[in-house]
Structure 1
Amino acid sequence: MPEPTVAAGLGDPARAAVFETASGFANPGRLAGRPAEAAALAAQLEWMSAELTQRPEWRSATPMLDPALRQARAELRAALGIAPDAPPAAVAAALRQAAPALRAGQAEAAAAALDPVAAGDGRRVLARLANLPPLPRAAFATGLALDELSRETRTDLE
């Protein structure tokens, strides 16, 4: 599965995904009415749940991280109306395509990108992205990933 894009100055896509998702899901109110940002964060969480703990530098993470990320993915998919058994790569790709379309004001293109993972109802997913409820499992899992990243950074400095 392709890695998420890197935010300016963060270098490593995995680190960028951890920082961005932890901040975004810890403060869900800031996503209200911002479906493009919500779609981008959801795509990163999809990627993290499938790939993060498979990376060599993350294999020493707490064993709680992988199940926490999978539970977060399930919670997010339920909130968005995305099938629980949809392949993570397909969901991440659909959300990644939807985000720039939303930024450009192209709701129809965003909905079309989401249709394959939303049983043909990408419009419903768009409405939910614009008004995400609090996602405590996503907040916990991404916060745990941030804690692990901080722990690794501290260990590297010792």
Structure 2
Amino acid sequence: MLAGCVTAPYPTAVLPSYGASVTLDPARQSIIQTAYVFASPGSMAGRPWEAAQAISEAEFLAVELNYGQRWIEMSPLVKQAFVQARPEWRGALGIDLAAPPQAVIDAFTLLRLAYGAQDAAAAAAALQPPLFTPGGAATIARLADLPPLPRTAWAASMAQDEMWRMQNQGSRGDDWE
């Protein structure tokens, strides 16, 4: 009888902390950043590490907006928009549709760290099958020439509009500082 009362744990996703001296709100920063970069995908052309960051932030937001308590007041349409956009960005990059969001974030974090260390081999090694198909250099090439992702851009824009609406109405105001 108790088995029916047990609920599956909800997914979690965390963006890496780079030890900055200033504490930033990762959700707020991700909303602002994704709204900007997916509205102008050409800004990431030739910069696979930036595209990897943007996709990591979208993966994070697909989880955070749906399960983070501070986003209860956010429109369910916005929350669902990121979930519906996920197959778009995953399809464009050959990311396994069933992959846990944190695994994608972790792989892209390794890619970004490898680029920072100017280690092309480590960057390619971070993106291996079965998580990424075809993986390695081919996935990096897709990141460097990310196509327009209209569903993703729409979700990010809606999230930013909704975040500003919530802030202007004083919703959960203690979280905005």
Shift of 1:4: 5.0
Shift of 1:87: 1.1
Amino acid in the other structure paired with 2:61:
M
Shift of 1:64: 0.8
Shift of 1:77: 0.6
- Give the counterpart of 2:137 among 123, 147, 151: 123
Identity across aligned pairs (percent)? Answer: 43
Amino acid in the other structure paired with 1:99:
R
Q: Which moved more, 1:84-93 or 1:3-12?
A: 3-12
Relative to structure 1, the CA distance from residue 10 to residue 146 in structure 2 (aligned partners, 3 Å threshold; closer, same or farther) is farther
Q: Is residue 155 of structure 2 the alignment partner of residue 141 of structure 1?
A: yes
- Give the counterpart of 2:109 among 96, 118, 137: 96
* Higher helix content, 1 or 2: 1
Instruction: Look up the SS of the partner of 1:115 in the other structure.
Output: coil
Q: Could you tell me the TM-score, scaled by structure 1's length?
A: 0.90
Contact 1:94/1:114 (8 A) holds in 2 = yes
Aligned Cα RMSD in Å? 2.1
Contact 2:44/2:144 (8 A) holds in 1 = yes
C-alpha distance in 2 between matches for 1:145 and 1:133: 21
Alignment match, 1:3: 15
Cα deviations by residue, 1:52-86 (Å, 9 ceiling, x for unpaired)? 22111111111111221012221101010111111
Q: Which moved more, 1:125-134 or 1:63-72?
A: 63-72
Matched residue pairs, number?
Answer: 158
Contact 1:4/1:13 (8 A) holds in 2 = no
Amino acid in the other structure paired with 2:58:
L
C-alpha distance in 2 between matches for 1:27 and 1:52: 23
Q: Is residue 39 of structure 2 the alignment partner of residue 26 of structure 1?
A: yes
Q: Could you tell me the TM-score, scaled by structure 2's length?
A: 0.81
Shift of 1:5: 4.4
